Amino acid sequence: MPPGLKHWLWVLLGLAVFMLAAVAVGALLAFTAPAHGQQALSTWRNSALVPLHKGDVDTLARTLYGEARGERPEGMAAVAWVILNRVKRGPPRFAETVSGVCKQRAQFTCWSPGDPNAKVCAQASDADPYFVLAIHVASGVLSGQIADPTNGSDHYHTIGMRPYPAWAGKMKLMTVIGQHRFYKE
């Protein structure tokens, strides 16, 4: 068996266990007395790192897929944390929601209508192991299970970009993870 295939089989096995656990928790909430189920769901929402809205997990996963699908999980998590750190900063500089930050004009190329990557991201499905990984990482970051490896960064760019964006010289370089440099404004 090729070494790369073995790696992806382990990743998929881990994701399957994670998804089964999520289904079990969902079933438990559904079959609990209504008052207790609503209380448990409310407690989970209140413990989220930022307010969550319908579609946030999918939008964040598609952003990670578009911006960091060649990265290891830590690299994807770092991009996700840039987005969460922007949500935490909020207006007037950034949007108030995960989806709002991801789709904010001229911020993430995977959401730019003219970018070829936009179509790839829109069509991503769970048949692609990188998209499954992006969903797993997005869920882990949004639930607080994956810590911020960027030290509070709210910007990044690829290390291969030349010249670096003008804004990079005005910010503090916090870390380099995979193929990205992370900055704090």
Q: From 48, 17, 79, 52, select the one nearest 143 (Cα to Cα).
A: 48
Please give the average per-residue pLDDT across 132-147, as a whole number. Answer: 94
Q: What is the pLDDT of residue 167?
A: 92
Residue 34 pLDDT greater than 70, yes or no:
no
Residues 6 or more apart in contact with residue 88 via CB below 8 angstroms:
49, 50
Find the helix or strand (DSSP H, E) in which 136 lies: helix 129-142
151/148 Cα distance (integer angstroms): 6
Q: Which of 33-37, 94-98, 119-123, 128-132 has the lowest mean pLDDT?
A: 33-37
User: Contact 59/99 with Cβ under 8 angstroms?
Assistant: yes
Confidence of residue 4 (pLDDT cuts 50, 70, 90): low
Please give the average per-residue pLDDT across 142-169, as a whole number. Answer: 92
Q: What is the pLDDT of residue 114?
A: 86
Predicted confidence (pLDDT) per residue in 8-20, tens digit:
655 555 555 445 4
Work out the percent of the chain whose per-residue pLDDT is above 70: 74
The amino acid sitting at 139 is S
Residue 130 pLDDT greater than 50, yes or no:
yes
**Homologous superfamily of the 52-184 domain (CATH):** Cell wall hydrolase SleB, domain 1 (1.10.10.2520)
Q: Which of 46-50, 70-74, 102-106, 125-129 has the lowest mean pLDDT?
A: 46-50
Confidence of residue 28 (pLDDT cuts 50, 70, 90): very low
The mean pLDDT value of the chain amounts to 80
Residue 157 backbone dihedrals phi, psi, to 5 degrees: -155, 165
Whether the model pTM is above 0.85: no
Q: Where exactly are the structural domains of the chain?
A: 1-47, 52-184
Q: Using N-to-C axis directions, what is the helix angle for 129-142 and 3-31, rounded to 10°? A: 50
